[in-house]
Structure 1
Amino acid sequence: MNSPYSFADWQAGKRPKKGWDCADAIDDGWTGKQLDAFMRATARPWTPPQQAGKAAEDAPPQAERLPVGGNGSGASETPRIKPKIAVVKGEIHRAVQLAIAVLSNQETGIFARADELVRPVTHLAPSQTLTVTKQGENVSRPDGSVIVTTLTEAALVEVLTERALFVKFNLRVKDFVPCDCPPEVARTILARKGHNWTMPRLRAVISAPTLRPDGTVINEPGYDAKTGLLLVGERLWRHVPENPSKREAVDALAVLSEPIASLPFVSESDRAAALALLITSVLRPGLKAAPMFAVSAPSAGTGKSLVVDVAAVMATGRRVAVITPTPDEAELEKRIGACALAGDQILSIDNVTHILRSDQLCQMLTQDEVQVRVLGSSKNVRIPATSLICATGNNLTVYGDLNRRTIQIRLDAKMERPEERHFKFDAIDLAMRKRPELVAAALTIVRAYWSAGLPNMAPPMGNFEDWSGLVRSSLIWLGLADCRGDVAAQRAADPEKDELAEIIEALPIGPFTAREIGIRVAESPLLREALSFFMERNGVFSSKRFGRYLARYSGTRIGGRCIEQMPRDNSNSSVWRIAGDDRDPSKSSQGEPEIGMADW
């Protein structure tokens, strides 16, 4: 009988018998510590065999070494060991948990965004193609923009295969051999939708320093666990004083004003609003919510897009991502949702020629998270709402609730061809060259106001209290006009009130239902004109949409009158009437006999 091969024999340099393995070592009386020391000393990287042979078959899979960080992080001289994940039938949950642990390492570059797994990528438009996609027509972003993409099953399989050593048992060699990450492992991870995920949570990818909620600055590249923000890029940023004085804030304001100094603002409040836009472009990822900025002018070429591009250069180093406008609310929501899913830091609905209205825009401006539809799919995804939204247009008009969620920036060159003006410098080129100074100036202004104790804070702006308390109030503290401008004039110009007044005037005094109005629309051209918004593309009146409109504006008074809901009729339909109406019941507003329910 052969004598045991002891740990001391191995230390003395003696070789074991042929075929001796760890199971034999246990039989020979080796302890766990001795086995661990033996494995650490004898482990070597495994490489696929070049040709079949017994030596290759007998070689057990070993840990593979990868550079820390991977993907050219610059730390390739420091190796790390790929974790081994054994795939065993009946124990897929163990492989899934180990795979989640691999993905939870920040160096992997995979993040959890709501209930999706994502990773940041650099956007590059196709340079050699004859096909222009619909998305390319509707959303345009500069090359080099950093966006977020959702990981598919195949992409997750690739990442896990690269970052971990998967092994499965091979009956032929009676041992574990390397394999790719099984698709069912990736599929199970994605199907969990956040359950037991330990991956770092991503709020937004940023390309410039910003402030945390406690006022400290994020200026080091990488993931910030406190805020969920990922700062990308290797640029060296200017130091922002911890407690800057008001004098330093005034100097910073002069720096920040330089790129937009030549623009023809209508009033000082419009200039303050433009400066608020520049500051907000840097602070938006750390704010709970921020208003939309609408840049308007009487004619093209005044500089509307220029203001937004300067803000985008500060935040991203590139011009703004542009959305093609459309009066179709559903289509506009798809385009906005596509940008939100991609994580665009700042986006612009450019050259709007119609009344801008969108319920989804209202939600994106005020909610911390928003639900958007994935293009080409019926799936809805809930994501953080962190994009700064802008809109530009000639005499731009904003509708309803969106109006009070908007900061207006008005420009007027007071000339027939403003695009022919000559400027002393290129504002975009200046912003590119002085980007670190501009970002530091924006942060210095807010930090100085913070250090001063937030004195004389402006009256709160509904849904945007933190933005108003920092951005708006800091500019007022420095002696600028209130960037909200003339709120009363903006509300008076809201087309929502004009539309509601016109509809109330057109509706009959007596009780009516939405369906009865639909029948009457076909008979009355004046009523059809007043309710044209509720006509579908095929020319059919939408009673459902009109019923929702009546419910939404029930009790809203215009000129002493309002829409009022009455008890339901025998058919259980909602019945409405115009309350507080002083018109002659025997006459309608169009001079036609009033139509009551009995007449219909």
Structure 2
Amino acid sequence: MTVPEKPNILIVAPQSDNKEVNAEDGVVSSSSDKSSPPTGSVNKPIDAGKSGTLLNDKKKIDPKTLTVPTSQPKQQPLALQPAESAVPDKIKEGDGIQINITNTEFINAVFQDIPQGAYAAVCSKPGDPSKGGWLAQRADSAVAQLNAKHNNYFNCSSFYLGEDGSFFARKERFAACHFFVLDDVGTKIPIERLGNFEPSWMIETSPGNYQVGIILAEPITDGAEAERLLKTLIDAGLCDPGASGPSTRWVRLPIGINGKPKYANKIGKLFQCRLVKWHPERRYTPQEIIDALKLKPVSSKNLKKVTKPTNSEANAVLTPRAAENPVISALKKSGRYKTPLGQGKHDITCPCVHEHTDALDDGAAYFEPNEQYPLGGFCCHHSHGDRYHIRDLLEYLGISEIEARHKPVIRVIAGDLSRVVDAAEKVLADHGQYFQSGGLIVSIAIDPTTGDPTIVPISPPALTRVLSTVAIWEKYDGRTKGLVRCDPPMSHVNILYNAGSYRYLRSLAGIVRQPYYRESDGVLVTEPGYDEISQCYGDFDPNEFSIPESTLEAAQTALALLEKLLVEFHFVAGTDKSAALSAIFTAVVRIALPHAPGFHCQAPIFGSGKTYLCELIGAFAGPATNIKVSYPTTSEEATKVILSLLLTNPAVIEFDDMDTDWLPHGIIKRMLTTDKITDRILGVSKTATVSTRTLFLGSGNNVGPVRDLLRRVLTIRLDPRCSTPATLSYKNYPVEKVRKNRGRYVSAVLTIIQAWRMAGSPRANVQSIANYNGAWSDYCRHPLIWLGYPDPATSLIEQITHDPDAEALKELMFEWNHSFGSQPITVRKVIKHVQEDNKGKDLYQALCELPVLDNKGNINPSKLGWFLKKNANRIIDGYAFQKCEADGRTAWRVVYVKSPDSPPPVERKREDVSEEDDDLLVNPKTNGGIKTDDY
């Protein structure tokens, strides 16, 4: 049967001008003709609304007012004709062939009860509807302008406006579901499947293919209930499996085309959709739909919520991330998931596989979200691949953008600040890339050039950005009466930043760049990643490191390999070469050592290889070059420099080309004898505790450690014994060798240590060194002695026993006693004595060797008093300065300290001292001599 051409239908609207509906463009136009319809017409009045706005009342609409009048004269044919198709008898019975109604009137009849503040949604797409996206528009302002020559759709649900007044048909803005539609009735679904069920409408959308609409008696505002009923229809085979959510369901309006080229007629004209059945008064409850269509209800278990959260959900501050990516779950549910391809890529069936050449099911993939693509990605290698993107896939699957991001959700609830901050810390910890270290929140960054890892403290602005990345933040919006997305509040961010201690973030003790010994149990850890016991993070490739059988022979072979690296360096003595090897060992195992000395490369002239030896030692510590800085000149500068450098946990800090001695600044002393130091961060009113497990190196010509650093810095002496060592040529290039094959050389060090441990950890009978008798001696001293090398700590012991400062202090004690004996005397009287008494010239010379003079060369009372206080009770050759009182003021005296293990005082005579005076030094019992003071 040939479908008749569309006529112009006159619809009488009460209390207004007659409105003429042109079936070609679907636009209602005013007419001055107020005459009645032609004789024989069965049209009756219908209230389409005076202003064209949506009708929200529940007036029943008589479907007979919209039937086609039998006596209407034939009009000119439309430019777009429906393709020829036969209308099944089931549809034709009592309903006519085509019912003419505007899209506005159609939507008004369907959406009679919309929640306050919500709107129906329409979408219009020209040409082939498979191209381009889906732009939702408010029906109240857009439906009257829909072009009849476009593909025109409306959504099953209504939606709330966004906080900014924007309108989107998205799951998170769902207000209510108003109807359901059965797909492909007449083709994939036989008409007989409906039985005696009478739908609200039927629209032929392609030749012989119908969409069947079922209007709900009451809109469903519970998204879970709407999804459950839709799932029930899908499981019964009455809906497209891709229709996974009520909020993403677009169906055709009666006035519009089906622009797919395959549905054009023989002369190329596109198919015109047509309403063939229209009974808007037929409305059903969910149970009536289930009973009439003989459906099996789906359980609510595991259904995703699509509506505003319930009270209990709204009170939940943190919603954890779904165990499985919702997009992957939806793909599996719709039968379109194939297999994982690795690295977040998945092989899937393209939703538009029917458009592929020969309908080949290949070439489509889904990519999980990452920082660059927060929604993930969709790619199809067929010809339509440039038209379909991730949002098209999400729309097809009924997945909202919030779900697609696959992140936890944090809700900012007034009065729950503590819980919100805890939730923020928890999602930060669950992310796995953030830690706490020394009271700070930190992450690990990898240098793209060298591959060296560093610890990076996070600032408040950076923390805000990170929190917005690792979680979706929501707050309640009073206007929409629902949750809307927001940024992390700065008040919450600042509280988290300044917390100082954290419940969920893992503690980070340090970064390791090669296999390492765990301090607590001595186990050699060879796997990278975070170690829960040591709290260290290993960033290295375990395949680069290979430790052979731990035997003496293996250790000797490994030592020979290391010795080849040192053959061209001009060491002063064998102990200096041993010290250089000890520095290499320290570089490898520094993370396992609570304390380790610094190493200073000393030479008499430039070009002797000091800096190059430091580079070689540093190459064993990590892949990056040494961090080189100038030696700080003041204690304040030292604190700023050292703390800022240690915050990043570098492998090596090198004081290069020093032109001054290792001055004993407070923080320099602490970094070499303590595991951690705490101080204020420069430019921030916040303190930090940093690890000192970094290798400290220095180099300079004829400079070295002094005073308190003599026992903390081990000196390696070089001397080429030529006038121009810079002109010497070298062939081995040891630094380059280690850089190219660092794993081999680091493994050689570990082999030696392992062999020493397997041999029973034999310890040589050598002098002990305070602070360095434990792990450092075990890993970096005794293994070398075990293999026949001299004690690498020899220079350290010599520096301690031949302390020039101690010699100067000893000289002061001698001259002090010669002038005052054991009599208490104030600093002021001491200065007066050396200035006025000719006998005080030797005491003056002794004082001039000490840091007690001002810029003019005069003795400064404050400096002298500070020096005596600093060296009080320090025993040198059995004598010490002791603090006391004289004339009501602080005074000082030299005393002999009796010790059962110490030898008697060394006799010393001066040419200008009589035997009687000299006897005062060696006989503590002599009247007027040095007083014996046991303490």
Q: TM bucket by the smaller chain?
A: 0.7 to 0.9
Structure-2 residue corresponding to 1:594: none
Pair 1:531–1:271, CA change in 2 (3 A): closer
Structure-2 residue corresponding to 1:362: 669
Structure-2 residue corresponding to 1:117: 441
Q: What's the CA shift for 1:223?
A: 1.9
Q: What's the CA shift for 1:71?
A: 5.8
Q: Deviations over 1:267-295 (max 9, x none)?
A: 22111111111111010012111111121
CA distance, structure 2, for counterparts of residue 411 and residue 342 of structure 1: 32
Structure-2 residue corresponding to 1:597: none
Answering whether residue 771 of structure 2 is matched by residue 551 of structure 1, we say: no
8 Å CA contact 1:295, 1:396 repeated in 2? no
Q: What's the CA shift for 1:154?
A: 0.9
Q: Out of 538, 557, 582, which is 1:251 matched to?
A: 557
Pair 1:398–1:567, CA change in 2 (3 A): same
Q: Counterpart amino acid of 1:111? A: F
Q: Counterpart amino acid of 2:769? A: M
Structure-2 residue corresponding to 1:562: 880
Structure-1 residue corresponding to 2:710: 403
8 Å CA contact 1:502, 1:530 repeated in 2? no
**SS of structure 2 residue aligned to 1:555:** coil
Q: Out of 256, 277, 282, which is 2:583 matched to?
A: 277
Structure-2 residue corresponding to 1:86: 411
TM-score, normalised relative to structure 2: 0.51
Q: What's the CA shift for 1:109?
A: 1.6
Pair 1:520–1:147, CA change in 2 (3 A): farther
1:487-502 correspondence runs (5 A): 489-501=798-810
Q: Counterpart amino acid of 1:428? A: V
CA distance, structure 2, for counterparts of residue 257 and residue 427 of structure 1: 10
Q: Which runs of 5+ in 1 are unaligned?
A: 20-24, 26-32, 44-61, 125-141, 587-600
Q: What's the CA shift for 1:528?
A: 11
User: What is the aligned length?
Assistant: 533
8 Å CA contact 1:503, 1:531 repeated in 2? no
Structure-2 residue corresponding to 1:239: 546
Q: What's the CA shift for 1:65?
A: 7.8
CA distance, structure 1, for counterparts of residue 369 and residue 543 of structure 2: 20
**SS of structure 2 residue aligned to 1:574:** strand
Q: Deviations over 1:222-242 (max 9, x none)?
A: 22222122223557422224x
**SS of structure 1 residue aligned to 2:475:** strand
Q: Counterpart amino acid of 2:576? A: D
CA distance, structure 2, for counterparts of residue 293 and residue 228 of structure 1: 27
**SS of structure 2 residue aligned to 1:103:** helix
Q: Deviations over 1:382-434 (max 9, x none)?
A: 22221111221222331233212232211111111111111122222112122
Q: Deviations over 1:481-522 (max 9, x none)?
A: 110125553234423213423554676635344566688899
Q: What's the CA shift for 1:551?
A: 2.5
Pair 1:434–1:145, CA change in 2 (3 A): closer
1:88-167 correspondence runs (5 A): 88-105=413-430, 107-122=431-446, 145-167=452-474
CA distance, structure 2, for counterparts of residue 103 and residue 519 of structure 1: 68
Q: What's the CA shift for 1:3?
A: 10
Q: Counterpart amino acid of 2:407? A: K
Answering whether residue 775 of structure 2 is matched by residue 450 of structure 1, we say: no
1:434-583 correspondence runs (5 A): 434-457=741-764, 459=766, 460-464=768-772, 465-485=774-794, 489-501=798-810, 503-504=812-813, 509=820, 511-514=824-827, 526=844, 530=848, 533-534=851-852, 546-558=864-876, 561-567=879-885, 570=888, 573-579=889-895
Deviates more, 1:2-11 or 1:325-334: 2-11
CA distance, structure 2, for counterparts of residue 72 and residue 393 of structure 1: 48
Deviates more, 1:549-558 or 1:577-586: 577-586
**SS of structure 1 residue aligned to 2:620:** helix
RMSD over equivalenced CA pairs, Å: 4.0
CA distance, structure 1, for counterparts of residue 371 and residue 832 of structure 2: 66
CA distance, structure 2, for counterparts of residue 18 and residue 82 of structure 1: 23
Pair 1:519–1:352, CA change in 2 (3 A): farther
Q: Deviations over 1:357-404 (max 9, x none)?
A: 323222211211112342345654222221111221222331233212
Q: What's the CA shift for 1:247?
A: 0.9
- Which runs of structure 1 show a deviation greater than 6 angstroms over 4 or more consecutive aligned residues? 14-19, 62-69, 515-525, 536-542, 581-586
Structure-1 residue corresponding to 2:646: 340
**Which one has the bigger helix percentage?**
1
CA distance, structure 2, for counterparts of residue 168 and residue 158 of structure 1: 18
Structure-1 residue corresponding to 2:304: 39
Pair 1:178–1:389, CA change in 2 (3 A): same
Deviates more, 1:168-177 or 1:338-347: 338-347
8 Å CA contact 1:370, 1:383 repeated in 2? yes
TM-score, normalised relative to structure 1: 0.78
Q: What's the CA shift for 1:326?
A: 4.0
Q: Deviations over 1:336-375 (max 9, x none)?
A: 2322223121111222233323232222112111123423
Q: Counterpart amino acid of 2:805? A: E
Q: Deviations over 1:140-185 (max 9, x none)?
A: xx97654323211111111111001111111111111111111112
Pair 1:519–1:84, CA change in 2 (3 A): farther
CA distance, structure 1, for counterparts of residue 746 and residue 417 of structure 2: 49
8 Å CA contact 1:215, 1:450 repeated in 2? no
8 Å CA contact 2:623, 2:739 repeated in 1? yes
Q: Which runs of 5+ in 2 are unaligned?
A: 1-216, 248-285, 287-297, 308-320, 328-343, 345-367, 378-403, 897-907, 918-935
Answering whether residue 739 of structure 2 is matched by residue 432 of structure 1, we say: yes
Answering whether residue 229 of structure 2 is matched by residue 13 of structure 1, we say: no
8 Å CA contact 1:272, 1:482 repeated in 2? yes
Deviates more, 1:504-513 or 1:265-274: 504-513
Structure-1 residue corresponding to 2:719: 412
CA distance, structure 2, for counterparts of residue 541 and residue 225 of structure 1: 57
8 Å CA contact 1:108, 1:163 repeated in 2? no
CA distance, structure 1, for counterparts of residue 651 and residue 690 of structure 2: 14
Structure-1 residue corresponding to 2:349: none
Q: What's the CA shift for 1:114?
A: 1.7
8 Å CA contact 1:310, 1:319 repeated in 2? no
CA distance, structure 2, for counterparts of residue 403 and residue 65 of structure 1: 64
**Which one has the bigger strand percentage?**
2
Q: What's the CA shift for 1:201?
A: 1.0
Q: Deviations over 1:427-462 (max 9, x none)?
A: 221121221111111111111111222123554432
CA distance, structure 1, for counterparts of residue 660 and residue 617 of structure 2: 24
Structure-2 residue corresponding to 1:134: none
CA distance, structure 2, for counterparts of residue 468 and residue 558 of structure 1: 27
8 Å CA contact 1:255, 1:437 repeated in 2? no
Q: What's the CA shift for 1:208?
A: 2.5
8 Å CA contact 2:450, 2:623 repeated in 1? no
Pair 1:455–1:528, CA change in 2 (3 A): closer
Structure-2 residue corresponding to 1:294: 600
**SS of structure 2 residue aligned to 1:104:** helix
Pair 1:145–1:250, CA change in 2 (3 A): same
Larger relative contact order, structure 1 or 2 (CA cutoff 8 Å, min sep 6): 1
8 Å CA contact 2:228, 2:299 repeated in 1? no
Pair 1:564–1:120, CA change in 2 (3 A): same
Pair 1:300–1:404, CA change in 2 (3 A): same
